[in-house]
Chain A
Amino acid sequence: MVTDTSSGTGPSALDSPTSTVDRRRPARRLARRRVPAPLALPAAVALAFLVLPLVGLFVRAPWPTLPQRLTEPEVLAALRLSLVAATLATAVCLVLGVPLAWLLARVDFPGRRLARALVTVPLVLPPVVGGLALLLLLGRRGIIGQWLDKWFDATIPFTTSAVVIAEAFVAMPFLVIAVEGALRGVDDRYEEAAATLGASRWTTFRRVTLPLVAPGIAAGSVLCWARALGEFGATITFAGNFPGRTQTMPLSVYLLLETDPPAAIVLSLVLLAVSVAILVALREKWIGSPA
């Protein structure tokens, strides 16, 4: 049964470019229907596990007062701040993360494996710890922050910049890993060809490599943006909580939960709707759906 299915959709289907997929559809569909029970059951449980909690949000949402709650200035301020901060954080990740991904994928430097491992640390670190670490580095008494305070009279914590920094810190690994994966998947003979035709490494990167990994960068950016949008722990620890300046949607959801759970549900739904809408839109535009 298992071998049957795998040979049906096997390597040929995976390798085939998108244009030929449509012609093969009927055959693939047949093969796809035969799902072995040991895979089908856990897959169904996993899907239910991921979706049912969201159903809870919908069931308990205070639908009658929804429109009025949505237009409250505080909600709009938090939503605006969330979108702006997540977008800026993604921009920071792109500017710094793509070159890092290229370095990890293309340059054989000593300590590359260590560097790659270090990049993933923010993924496993509890965000609150990440926030504390940022505070100890960039805070008013931080290793770098004390000099910023002394020389420029600038303090980073409790500002919108701190929100962007916290979000970029937790989200950058998503981008770096996605782009590095894309770079490794690209046939490097294109880059070699460009080099033999006299292109410098920088030109090759701009004119050959970047266009080749564009889908990977797009996918990484979307992941990165989504992670930044949902960021809570590092933000509340490093940037604090002040309406309009550092209070993003997740922070306001958490605080409203203390006194006004229905309002927290409303905000959660907004966050959910916004992220689903943007993810779907970007997916169709840039990444192309695999189904």
Chain B
Amino acid sequence: MMVFGPVRRRLAAAVATAAVAAALTGCSSPATPEPSGSTAVGGTITVFAAASLTDVFEDIAEDFEAAHPGARLEFNFAGSSALATQINEGAPADVFASASPATMKTVADAGNTDGEPVVFVRNQLVIAVEAGNPKGITGLADLTKPGITVALCAEQVPCGAAAKTAIEASGLTITPVSYEENVRAALSKVSLGEVDAALVYRTDAAVGDAVEAVDFPESAKAINDYLIAVLKDAPNKAAAEAFVAWVLSADGTAVLTRYGFQLP
């Protein structure tokens, strides 16, 4: 009895918390009338999005949820190709936002998109270096110098495919110390000081103060199109369509450009 005392009290507290939470959400969602004009957009919208969209989509989500009080966005951010595999294996997602046409194509080819995927932004590679650019890196050629360590994305993920195209266009041979599994992992190797440079998207390099971006002309050869689509088996299709429309609207594009994305 003595042993169970505290546990039971904790349990009681947990139940109470849950009850309060239920009461609160119960009050907020059905009781708040939907703004007239908008059809009932509600429930959870599950969005599978490329890792490079992490910050901008979370920002857009706040605006979207503020405008649609009944709706809640849930994100699964990862490498686009991993997400495509998950979707094709039946993961219950409503929307897929991919960082490359090739990965979106694998989902569309498997018949899992609802309608034609749309290009909604473009992104360009930059050389991410430590803040202040201590090694004085000005272009791709500097990455071939001895003593400069470089991280690239693995070729299997879009940023790696883009990096490969850009490097091939330059005619240089760059040997990285690591092929990172996604763009944020490559970036974090720079911000932690483990490598001197990494090829990442401009928008990724813009996150945080630890790194800065160095433009290089060859990146124009490898501009990445981002596509978005509602999925065929979306559990919450109406809300998913509303979210995609929001991303494509002026509300969405304003946030996207603020994060450094280029509009198509």
Q: How many A-B contacts are there with CB distance less than 8 Å?
A: 58
Q: Is B115 an interface residue (CB 8 A)?
A: no
Evaluate contact between A158 and B181: CB separation under 8 angstroms. Answer: no
Rounded to whole Å, the gap between the CB of A253 and the closest CB of chain B is 11
Q: Is A240 an interface residue (CB 8 A)?
A: yes
**With A240-B151, A255-B156, A259-B156 as contacts: A140 and B193 at CB distance below 8 Å:** yes
Q: Is B189 an interface residue (CB 8 A)?
A: yes
Rounded to whole Å, the gap between the CB of A129 and the closest CB of chain B is 13
Complex interface: stretch among B23-31, B55-63, B78-86, B90-98: B78-86
Give the total of A residues in contact with B, Cβ under 8 Å: 23
List the interface of chain B (C-beta within 8 A of A): 79, 81-82, 85, 149, 151, 154, 156-157, 176-181, 185, 189, 192-194
C-alpha gap A140/B191 in the complex (Å) = 12
3 nearest CB pairs, A to B: A240-B178, A258-B81, A141-B193
Residues of B within 8 A of A243 (CB): 179
Evaluate contact between A158 and B193: CB separation under 8 angstroms. Answer: no
Q: Mark A250-264, 1 if CB is under 8 A from B, else 0.
A: 010011111101000
Chain B binding site: helix, strand, loop or mixed by DSSP?
A: loop
Rounded to whole Å, the gap between the CB of B167 and the closest CB of chain A is 16
Residues of B within 8 A of A258 (CB): 79, 81-82, 85, 154, 156-157
Residues of A within 8 A of B157 (CB): 258
Q: Mark A147-180, 1 if CB is under 8 A from B, else 0.
A: 0000000000110000000000000000000000
**With A240-B151, A242-B176, A261-B85 as contacts: A141 and B192 at CB distance below 8 Å:** yes
Q: Is A135 an interface residue (CB 8 A)?
A: yes
Interface residues of A in 133-148 (CB under 8 A from B): 135-136, 139-141
Residues of A within 8 A of B189 (CB): 240
> Could you say which of B154, B156, B178, B194 contacts A140, with CB atoms under 8 Å apart?
B194
Rounded to whole Å, the gap between the CB of B20 and the closest CB of chain A is 31
Evaluate contact between B194 and A241: CB separation under 8 angstroms. Answer: no
15 A-B pairs with CB atoms under 8 Å apart are A135-B192, A135-B194, A136-B192, A139-B192, A140-B193, A141-B193, A158-B149, A236-B185, A240-B151, A241-B181, A242-B178, A246-B178, A255-B156, A258-B81, A258-B82
